Amino acid sequence: MSNIWVVMITLGLLTFGLRLSFVLLLERWQPPDLVARALRFVPVAVLTAIFIPEILLRDGSFALLPLNPRLFAGVAAILIAWKTKSALWTISAGMAIFWLATWLIR
Amino acid sequence: MANGQSSIKNEFLRGIRAELPILLGVAPFGMIYGVLAASAGFSLFDAQAMSSVVFAGSSQFMLVQMFEMGTPAIMMILTGFVINLRHALYSASIAPYTRHLSTLWKVILSYLLTDEAYAVAVMRYRDDEEITHKHWFFLGAGLALWTCWQVSTAAGLFLGAQVPPQWGLDFTLALTFIAIAVPAIKDRPSLLSALSAGATALLAWNLPYKLGLIASALVGIAVGLWSEKK
């Protein structure tokens, strides 16, 4: 079995375990208050920690305006997401702005 | 119950229908995953299998990236786990509604508990309490999403090498996360949590094996909890 299958099966089981955790255990076990409150911040913290370097860094160094179409489109997408709360609008408009900016800069 | 059967079918179909608009956003995401996996050197079988074994888009994207960089297995697992931690939150939120179900139902619905199925199912659960068989609604929504994810992965793998890298399709990863994270920032603690996690990610960028991501998640959670108290 190759390395990637070890990763896939382990992560698959862990992810399934996370999804099943409270659904299966809630009757017998109540999570400590701190855990319940900490969980609320997980999606926002993790997702922001992934997308911020994606739009700000290029090969490990800061890439600021106007030469970085990812930053330009990323900031636009943040504003669109905040205003519309629509995933479809954020992704499609963000991609269109990214392509336009790439084309203009080139 | 005389109308039990029709109500089951009704709820199931309603679940599928409620999921359809969301699939418009999911299908391109699945296709891009397929394209990226193919270009990262995954075999077609492995890449397709990951979509049902892991079945969590954002961690699949990250695994493909880390695989291409030659990251050690343990770091890939740890990073994927941190990214998928949010599913425990969905589990906690949905648990009060699934209490009465059999273990088999709990197992099936938990497997289907993705961001997009959760979003639709929890809204139905919060509807009128008189409505029965809401777990069939959840099942319909979850299966619709699952099917879409598998089919769009296959389509992406099929297109694979025909999509030139200059298109920058990997940027949709950042955009998708912006689309999920930004609307989830609803108060001061969640804003501070996001900002501190983002700043830590930049500062810790040079740490090996994406350890910066784990550090950022911890800082973001700590700052969120701390600012809640003030």
**Per-residue pLDDT tens over the stretch B147-173:** 999 999 999 999 876 777 777 877 887
**Number of compact structural domains in chain A:** 2
Give the chain A residue nearest B173 (alpha carbons). Answer: A51
Q: State yes or no: pLDDT of B1 exceeds 50.
A: no
pTM: 0.81
If asked whether residues A30 and A60 sit together in one domain, one would say no
Instruction: Say if B226 is an interface residue toward chain A (CB within 8 Å).
Output: no
Interface with chain B: mutation pick from A10, A11, A62, A88, highest number of B CBs within 10 Å = A11
Q: State yes or no: pLDDT of A13 exceeds 70.
A: yes
If asked whether residues A70 and A82 sit together in one domain, one would say yes
Residue A19's nearest CA partner among B142, B216, B144 is B142
**Per-residue pLDDT tens over the stretch B76-130:** 999 899 889 889 888 988 898 899 999 999 999 999 999 889 888 988 888 777 7
Q: Identify all chain A residues contacting B181, using CB atoms and an 8 Å cutoff.
A: 43-44, 47-48, 51, 81
If asked whether residues A32 and A54 sit together in one domain, one would say no
If asked whether residues A81 and A99 sit together in one domain, one would say yes
Q: State yes or no: pLDDT of B190 exceeds 50.
A: yes
Q: Which two tokens stand for residue B122?
A: 């929890």
CB-based contacts of B20: which residues, under 8 Å, 6+ apart? B144
Tell me the nearest-neighbour CA distance from B84 into chain A, angstroms.
6
**Per-residue pLDDT tens over the stretch A68-98:** 889 999 999 999 999 998 877 898 899 999 9
How many contacts (CB atoms, under 8 Å) link A and B? 256
Instruction: Say if A105 is an interface residue toward chain B (CB within 8 Å).
Output: no
If asked whether residues A80 and A52 sit together in one domain, one would say yes
Q: Give the Cα separation of B201 and B199 in Å (integer).
A: 5
Residue A45's nearest CA partner among B216, B179, B84 is B216
If asked whether residues A23 and A52 sit together in one domain, one would say no
Provide φ and ψ at A61, rounded to 5°: -125, 160
- Dihedral Cα B167, B170, B171, B172, nearest 10 deg: 100
If asked whether residues A86 and A61 sit together in one domain, one would say yes
If asked whether residues A55 and A88 sit together in one domain, one would say yes
Give the chain A residue nearest B177 (alpha carbons). Answer: A47
If asked whether residues A33 and A57 sit together in one domain, one would say no
Give the chain A residue nearest B181 (alpha carbons). Answer: A44
Q: Complex ipTM, two decimals?
A: 0.85
Q: Give the Cα separation of B186 and B183 in Å (integer).
A: 7
Q: Identify all chain B residues contacting A36, using CB atoms and an 8 Å cutoff.
A: 92
Residues 56-95 on A with a CB inside 8 Å of B are: 56-57, 60, 70, 73-74, 77-78, 81-82, 85-88, 90-91, 94-95
If asked whether residues A65 and A90 sit together in one domain, one would say yes
Contact B80 A7 (CB under 8 A): yes
If DSSP codes are grouped into helix, strand and coil, which group holds residue A57? strand
If DSSP codes are grouped into helix, strand and coil, which group holds residue A86? coil
If asked whether residues A10 and A56 sit together in one domain, one would say no
Q: Which residues of B96-114 are buried (b: 16+ CB within 10 A; e: fewer)?
A: ebbeeeeeebbebbbbbbb
Q: Would you kindly state where each structural domain of chain B is located, as residue ranges?
A: 4-169, 185-230
B88, B184, B198 ranked by CB distance to A21: nearest:
B88
Give the chain A residue nearest B25 (alpha carbons). Answer: A88
Range of A33's domain?
Answer: 1-38
Cβ neighbours of A103 (radius 10 Å): 9
If asked whether residues A24 and A75 sit together in one domain, one would say no
